[in-house]
Every structure is written in C-alpha cells, then in structure tokens.
Amino acid sequence: MKQNITHIAIVVDDYDKAIEFYTKKLHFDLIEDTVLSETKRWVLVRPKGANECSLLLAKAANDEQKTRIGNQTGGRVFLFLHTDDFERDYKNLLSNNIKIVREPVREEYGTVAIFADLHGNLWDLIEPNKLPG
C-alpha cells in the first residue's frame, strides 16, 4: 500500500495577495491557478525543488472560515519548511520583512527559527542536522 499527502489547505483572505507572498517572498513555485467559479480558484504553490506536498490556497468562503485565517492551529506552529541552507533562507525572511517569532536556535535535530506568514500562521524554518557518513 502506498499513500501520500498531496495538498494541505491554508485559508487565505485573497488569492492574489497570498500568491504574491508565497511566490515573491518565500520564492515558492506557483503550480496551478485555475478559475473554478466567480468566487473560487484552485491555487497550488510549493517550495522550489519540492515534488511532494503543495499548499492549496483556499479563500475563506464564509464567516466561520474567515475566523480561521492566520490561526488554523490555535497558535501552534502550523507548517514546517525544511531547507538545505538555513542562512540563505533566514536572510531571505529578514530581507522581505517577514515577521520572525523566534530567533534561530540550534536544537538536537537542527537549526530552527519560527516565522509568521502574511496572515500570522506560524512556520518552522528548519535545516536538519546532516547525518554522519
């Protein structure tokens, strides 16, 4: 049996603002932007070089969904972005004025910092430790 997670929905207030943030500031690739109706689009973004899971940018469609924008996990870190070059990507966050919630620290598993996306969702930026060998 083989299964995998292909998309994770993230509730946003505006498709174009979200696309701009993820593609211009985080340098993700825009995989798809298909109009489904007058109010709904199918928008997928994912980190450069990744082929696994994409983020589905889902515009809030009602008042209840709007209350979840920026806080889909009750204030916990929501998404984990692994990198092969922490310094490069951390400097990119700073140069794009992305809010740093926790400065970089070295943990057992690697170097990590917490940042907030354009709506306030929390992300870990992680460069895992290299395994010996």
pLDDT score, position 130: 83
Query: Residue range 112-120: average pLDDT?
Result: 97
Domains and CATH numbers, the chain: 1-69 (3.10.180.10), 70-133 (3.10.180.10)
Locate 32 and state its tokens: 């798809």
Query: Residue range 5-28: average pLDDT?
Result: 97
CA 122, chain centre distance (Å)? 9
Residue 13's SS3 state is coil
- Indicate if the pLDDT at residue 116 is higher than 70: yes
pLDDT tens string 68-109: 999 999 999 999 999 999 999 999 999 999 999 999 999 999
- Indicate if the pLDDT at residue 47 is higher than 60: yes
List, in order, residues 6 or more apart from 110 with CB less than 8 Å away: 86, 126, 127, 128, 129
- Indicate if the pLDDT at residue 131 is higher than 80: no
- Whole-prediction pTM value? 0.92
Give the amino acid at 98: I
- Indicate if the pLDDT at residue 132 is higher than 70: no
